[in-house]
Amino acid sequence: MPYLFSSESVSEGHPDKVSDQISDALLDQFLAYDENSHCAIETFCTTGQVIIMGEVRSKEYIDLQTIARNTIKNIGYTKAEYQFDGDSCGILTAIHEQSDDINRGVSRADEENQGAGDQGMMFGYASNETEDYMPVSLYLSHLLMSTLAEIRKEGKVMTYLRPDSKSQVTIKYSDENVPLCIDTIVVSTQHDPFDDDDDIMLAKIKDDVIHILIPRVKAKLGDKVLALFNDDIKYFVNPTGKFVIGGPHGDTGLTGRKIIVDTYGGKGAHGGGAFSGKDPSKVDRSAAYAARYIAKNMVAAGVADEMLVQLAYAIGVAQPVSIYVDTYGRSNVKMSDGEIAEKIKQMFDLRPKAIERILKLRQPIYLETAAYGHMGRKNQLVTKTFTSRYNEAKTVEVELFTWEKLDRVNEIKTAFDI
């Protein structure tokens, strides 16, 4: 019998994502001027207030307030009527140095044997239901949010939009786990007050979502995902009827509270560790990227149509304590999942320092990850410029989303005789 599966996304103006972006903007600043910085930065935001907390070990000194304010303004919080804006919000900082007890487990004379920054398990997932090897429900949820943000920033149509919004997409699947169609789309978007009554306001926003947002989303899709759209989709747009109060004024934001949005939308599994504000010595982040890199290349090579990869580490120990694979019965090779895991162990160097080197994780590449998902994004070279009150401006070319590269496919095909 067909079944339904849903995933959600949130906009860059969602309070938790505001926090994530501030944390990662600060991390990027540290890495731009000191690539060996160790950071674990948490951000809390509420009505008119931002609190930045955490641990840092770095040679660089940065202007936390300026970076936080610029990040908030770039998101779109630029008006006092939002009760939270980059120019007037208060910013408190409580940053202290990383614990020596943690650092002694991470730092090594031989950098290649650097220990993991913490214990824990991290998951990577991929399936062949989209060209990006992501769950289609999450892929569409992210695309709805990023496209809505584009419309808001252009300021030509839907001019009432404010920065905070959420989406959710429900997909109907066959018994063979093949997406059949879109069942439901939910969009809730913050907006300016309307002069009309609530019913007229709601009708206007719903009509604009269906006739402006959805066509722009569909224009970005390939034939495979586009075929899932149909005339029977159920739309729920601002189902409470009104969404004027939003952002950090409507709901407190905290770094790391959207980890399912950040990863696979509920497909696969999650180890519980957040990403934003953490440098790559923290395997919560780097090993999660490595697991995605492995899963995506394995599925792209045809080893399986769907794959989950778990990596687990002990603090201060370089090699993972375990590698686990689940192909959900959709493997295309005559090997058990345990044998596939053993092959992965032989093929991929999963020591934290090796992951940093292979995926180029000591670059200032993290602000771009902090909204619209860390996985399934476009691998590309970009030029970024950093300014500092204490140093000269610095322009660097960096490679974004290196864990999305399909550069191991041929090697995997050879290893698995595909």
Annotated binding-site residues for Mg(2+) read 16
Q: How many CB atoms lie within 10 A of CB 339?
A: 13
Interatomic CA distance for residues 5 and 267, integer angstroms: 9
Give residue 347's identity as a one-letter amino acid code: M
Ranges of H-type helices in 131-197: 136-154
- Considering Cα of 14, then 54, then 117, then 280, what sign does the dihedral take? positive
Binding-site positions for K(+) read 42
Residues in the chain: 418
Q: Tell me the three state secondary structure of residue 202.
A: helix
Q: Among candidates 155, 138, 153, which has minimal Cα distance to 372? A: 138
Interatomic CA distance for residues 296 and 140, integer angstroms: 18
Q: Tell me the three state secondary structure of residue 415.
A: helix
The CA distances from residue 345 to 317, 322, 324, 349, in Å, are: 16, 9, 10, 7
Phi/psi-derived region of residue 326, left when phi > 0, alpha when psi is between -120 and 50, beta in every other case: beta
Q: Which residue is listed with tokens 């501030």? A: 22
Q: How many CB atoms lie within 10 A of CB 342?
A: 14
Interatomic CA distance for residues 210 and 218, integer angstroms: 11
Binding-site positions for ATP read 14, 164-166, 242-243, 251, 257-258, 274, 278
Q: Please tell me what DSSP assigns to residue 404.
A: G
The CA distances from residue 178 to 93, 169, 174, 328, in Å, are: 49, 16, 5, 13
Interatomic CA distance for residues 174 and 417, integer angstroms: 30
The DSSP bridge pattern shows strands 394-400 and 380-386 to be antiparallel
Interatomic CA distance for residues 5 and 266, integer angstroms: 9
Binding-site positions for L-methionine read 55, 98, 251, 282
Interatomic CA distance for residues 401 and 406, integer angstroms: 11
Exposed (0-12), middle (13-18) or buried (19+): which is 289, by Cβ within 10 Å? buried
Residue 410 corresponds to which tokens in the numbers above?
């041929």
Q: Which residue is listed with tokens 């120019």? A: 87
Binding-site positions read 14, 16, 42, 55, 98, 164-166, 242-243, 251, 257-258, 274, 278, 282
